Structure 1
Amino acid sequence: LPVIKQIQAGVTPDLRMLSVEFNAIQMSQARIMGVSESWIKRVAAANSAHHQLFMVRKRTFERDEDAHALQEGDVILTLNGNIVTRVSELDVMYDNEVLDAVIVRDCVEMRVAVPTVASHDVETDRAVSFCGAILHRPHLAVRQQISKLHSEVYVSARTRGSPSYQYGLAPTNFITAVNGVPTPDLEAFIREVVRIPDNTYFRLKCMTFDNVPWICTMKKNEHYFATMEWIKDPREECGWRRVSYEHGKSIEGEGKEGINEIAAESVCEDDVGGGDVEPVAVKA
């Protein structure tokens, strides 16, 4: 494998992957799904021990969908010209940005250029604390389980006693707009919330995990629940860079006003949304 050769050479591999889950299917099911007899014969010749193909069981949903992405129910016939009947034959995804795939979709055989994603893109590398809520881009498990990604502003936890806790902004909610302005990502969200004056009310347009929209009216409290973000940065001693926001301006490190430290014991176990936010070490 090219991956092993890179490791042997002392190089850290930059792996890529197909952001889907596969199920092995037998030839009887493959026939029903539209795989032709000629392909079934080729499968039997390629793998005499296990006559099987792979079907997309689940996929990762993104806000900006690629038209060539694999769909749930697709049956994979070949990747880069090689018939796929074993799990090891999927390894071709590790070092290719685009795969030339022959698939069967809705009983129709077709050729598609399937993009892969970088494995580091599934990690949480940025988190925002706002009014006691911890927000970040939806992690991989969320994107695999949801049918539509409403925004990239995902509530993963909240602090007991915070405005988020008091006004009902719950883990697994998505924030899609602030005061009527769409916030498709964290950049847009930060840009809008820093404009909100302290001790004033504002509106959040939210969507629950099961696709129920609702409006949350909340009062900002910068003294006890300041707005800040942590950005993964290998140059920092703790691995994370902290940015605080006060009076509409960004400050590197800890802010000059308010209480910026969030005690770990103040986060309720029931108020953690199953996110994979990595531990954040903050220097005093």
Structure 2
Amino acid sequence: METSSEHSSGEPHSRVESDVGTKKRRVSDLPANGIAVADGSIQQTGEVKLDNPSPIENEVLRDYQGAIAPAVNASFAESVIEPTLVLFEVHVPPSVMIDGVHSQHFFGTGVIIYHSQDMGLVAVDRNTVAISASDVMLSFAAFPIEIPGEVVFLHPVHNYALIAYDPSALGAAGSSMVRAAELLPEPALRRGDSVYLVGLSRSLQATSRKSIVTNPFAALNIGSADCPRYRATNMEVIELDTDFGSTFSGVLTDEHGRVQAIWGSFSTQLKYGFSTSEDHQFVRGIPIYTISQVLDKIVNGANGPPLLINGVRRPMPLVRIMEVELYPTLLSKARSFGLSDNWVQALVKKDPIRRQVLRVKGCLAGSKAENLLEQGDMVLAVNKEPVTCFRDIENACQALDKISDNEGKLSMTIFRQGREIDLVVGTDVRDGNGTTRVINWCGCIVQDPHPAVRALGFLPEEGHGVYVARWCHGSPVHRYGLYALQWIVEINGRPTPHLDAFIDVTKELGHGEFARVRTVHLNGKPRVLTLKQDLHYWPTWELRFDPNTAMWIRQTIKALD
């Protein structure tokens, strides 16, 4: 299955690395007969659930407790945090490689942030769990067991995901040893602070080292990939003087083992010349405060739509954001662009360390800020309060949720082409579900355009609800040249502005019937082609996530009778 807009024989990039002794699990693809599949539960654990540990289980527990005794040279922070660490093994079925995900297999380390009798939650970076349609297996450092996990929250901006597991699957012995980490969102890390970087190897052995924070608020600048996929934006991350390389993830703790950040993996793409690019990854610290805020909303009751987790319907949080990509500029540069001394002094007084101003890189297409903010605008203040960092914008957006009669708009002061301008800019509310609906037609996977596509700043005026994310070798779309990275805006003269309209049109097409398809590419170029439908080998089907049952349900729309 490919994402390129032209024929390619190269295999998709994979993060699977050779590792002697690494256990590999084959995760089956989604069924082809319309049977519902539980999200994250394709692989069933073979553990017997015991309310009370048996004598045999007690013996195993005693043996394992002795086997995981802290190493002689292990730090106190490592011994405290090790029982909270989890090794992830993630598989993305080939039929649902959506949102531009660049590989089928991912590995990484997460940390348990909540553990009770009813629910456990693990935080991990989004370069390990990229999309919700993933098969997730969790291996615990505290107890030798592997159980499935369920993706319950994907933050739309920050690079982390929350994965739920069923504590009863651990058994009585496992539940007694597994615990949640203590989170320390405040005070924020500062330059020169000492932290402990702790993570897991593929053999579930804890590894740690003491490091020094060199930059606690390094602004990310990740460019768009050739095939748009999730990338972290509007984030300040933590940099250390020493780490374990670009493939090692884990947590940053203080000397008492309290988690101050997760050491997460970020996906990027390095480009060489005009036609060559290569996928890469790097690791940075993600401050724990943003994870702690979402966790509090899940545990104490959020204001979003409910999601079934371990048989219990729980309201999930909604995230209010301003869908604008920002980047910092030094005040010395801003002064040369004409920013007044009064504003320079006000911003320095607000934040004497950063000494920066935020500028607009671009607005997401279809956002409420799209026609108001322009590239190059300097954001000086929100609600008359000076802003100097991404967190200031986030706090202003979250404050809107506490006002019952607000319209979700921010009063902003910007600097544009030598003039100060006051604007009222709308914000957008997003959930943490990610893409929850895809359709396979003639061998191509279509979906709503995900945020990475909208971040390019363009959506076709004719309709933008049917975006081609993938195509399959040997399919009709491959044979006739309907590749990825474009929108289907019309079939046989009938508009397809959204997925429902697309289904209404395609289900009327018979086997062997030709269809005239009009498309618009990411670069804005229109195209018309004709393809022949083959319902014998390539039936039309839909895959949709149902939050009421926590199931991915596959339904055949059109097949050969």
Are residues 1:124 and 2:435 paired? yes
Are the aligned partners of 2:327 and 2:361 in contact in 1 as well (CA < 8 Å)? Answer: yes
Equivalents in 1 of 2:300, 2:480: separation in Å? 54
1:192 partnered with 2:505: yes
TM-score (norm 1): 0.76
Q: For each residue in 1:204-246, what CA deviation from the matched residue of structure 2 results, as whole angstroms up to 9, or x when unmatched?
A: 1112222222112011122221112122212335x22333223
Tell me the equivalent position of 2:411: 100
The Cα RMSD (Å) is 2.6
Asked if 1:9 corresponds to 2:321, the answer is no
Q: Which residue identity is paired with 1:244? A: T
2:423: which partner in 1? 112
Q: Distance in 1 between matches of 2:297 and 2:475?
A: 48
Structure 2 residue aligned with 1:277: none
Partner of 2:444: 133
What is the 5 A alignment of 1:208-219? 208-219=521-532
Q: Given that residues 357 and 380 in structure 2 are in contact (C-alpha distance below 8 angstroms), is that contact kept between their aligned partners in structure 1?
A: yes
For residues 62-85 of structure 1, give each alpha carbon's deviation from its aligned partner in whole angstroms, at most 9, with x where no partner exists: 2x7666543322211112332101
Q: Which runs of 5+ in 1 are unaligned?
A: 247-254, 259-284
Whole-Å separation in 1 of the counterparts to 2:471 and 2:445:
6
How far is the alpha carbon of 1:135 from its aligned partner? 0.2
- Distance 1:231-1:203 versus aligned 2 partners, 3 A rule: same
Structure-2 change in CA distance of 1:115 and 1:241 (3 Å): farther
Secondary structure at the counterpart of residue 40 of structure 1: helix
**CA offset at residue 138 of structure 1?**
1.2
Matching residue of 1:278? none
Change (3 A) 1:8 1:82: farther
Report Cα offsets for 1:102-145 as digits up to 9, x if no partner.
11233332222222222327821210111111000111111113
Corresponding residue for residue 538 of structure 2: 225
Residue identity opposite 2:543 in structure 1 = W
What do residues 36-68 of structure 1 show as CA deviations (whole Å, max 9, x unaligned)? 332222112222233211001132112x76665
Aligned to 2:137: none
Distance 1:32 1:121, change over 3 A: farther
Q: Is structure 2 residue 468 aligned with structure 1 residue 164?
A: no
Question: Which of 495, 505, 517 is equivalent to 1:182?
Answer: 495
In the aligned structure 1, how far is the partner of 2:504 from the partner of 2:399?
36
Equivalent residue number for residue 49 of structure 1? 353
Q: Quick one: which amino acid aligns to residue 300 of structure 2?
A: A
Identity fraction in percent: 28
Deviation of the 1:9 alpha carbon: 2.9
The answer as to whether partners of 1:132 and 1:164 remain within 8 angstroms in 2 is yes
Mapped partners of 1:217, 1:8: distance in 2: 52
More helix, by proportion: 1
Paired residue secondary structure (1:23): strand
Paired with 1:162 and 1:148, the residues of 2 have a C-alpha distance of: 28
Q: Which runs of 5+ in 2 are unaligned?
A: 1-288, 303-315, 401-407
Partner Cα distance (2:552, 2:337) in 1: 48
In 2, Cα distance between the equivalents of 1:236 and 1:9? 22
Alpha-carbon distance in 1 for matches of 2:459, 2:440 = 21
1:196–1:32 distance in 2 versus 1, CA, 3 Å: farther
Letter in 2 for 1:210: N
| Alpha-carbon contact 2:317-2:431 (below 8 Å) kept | no
Larger Rg: 2
Contact 2:324 2:369 in 1 (8 A): no
Alignment: residue pair count: 246
Q: Distance in 2 between matches of 1:22 and 1:189?
A: 35
In 2, distance between residues paired with 1:190 and 1:113?
38
Q: Distance in 2 between matches of 1:7 and 1:236?
A: 18
Conservation of the 8 A alpha-carbon contact between 2:444 and 2:469: yes
1:72 and 2:375 aligned: yes
Q: Which moved more, 1:91-100 or 1:180-189?
A: 91-100
Q: 1:70 to 1:89 in 2, by over 3 A?
A: same
Shift in Å, 1:20: 2.1
- Which moved further from structure 2: 173-182 or 117-126? 117-126
Q: 1:69 to 1:120 in 2, by over 3 A?
A: farther
Distance 1:121 1:209, change over 3 A: farther
Q: Is the 8 A contact 1:3 1:13 kept in 2?
A: no
Q: Residue by residue, what CA displacement relative to the aligned partner does 1:126-181 show, whole Å, maximum 9, x if unpaired?
A: 10111111000111111113x42122211111122211111111111211111122
Range with greater deviation from structure 2 (4-13 or 21-30): 4-13
Contact 2:413–2:422 (CA under 8 A) maintained in structure 1:
yes
For the 8 Å contact 1:68–1:112, the answer to whether it is kept is no
* Counterpart check, 1:245 vs 2:536: no
| 1:32 to partner: Cα distance | 4.4
Q: Is 2:389 aligned against 1:86?
A: yes
Amino acid at match of 1:6: K
Does the CA contact (< 8 Å) of 2:444 and 2:471 recur in 1? Answer: yes
- 1:177 partner amino acid: E
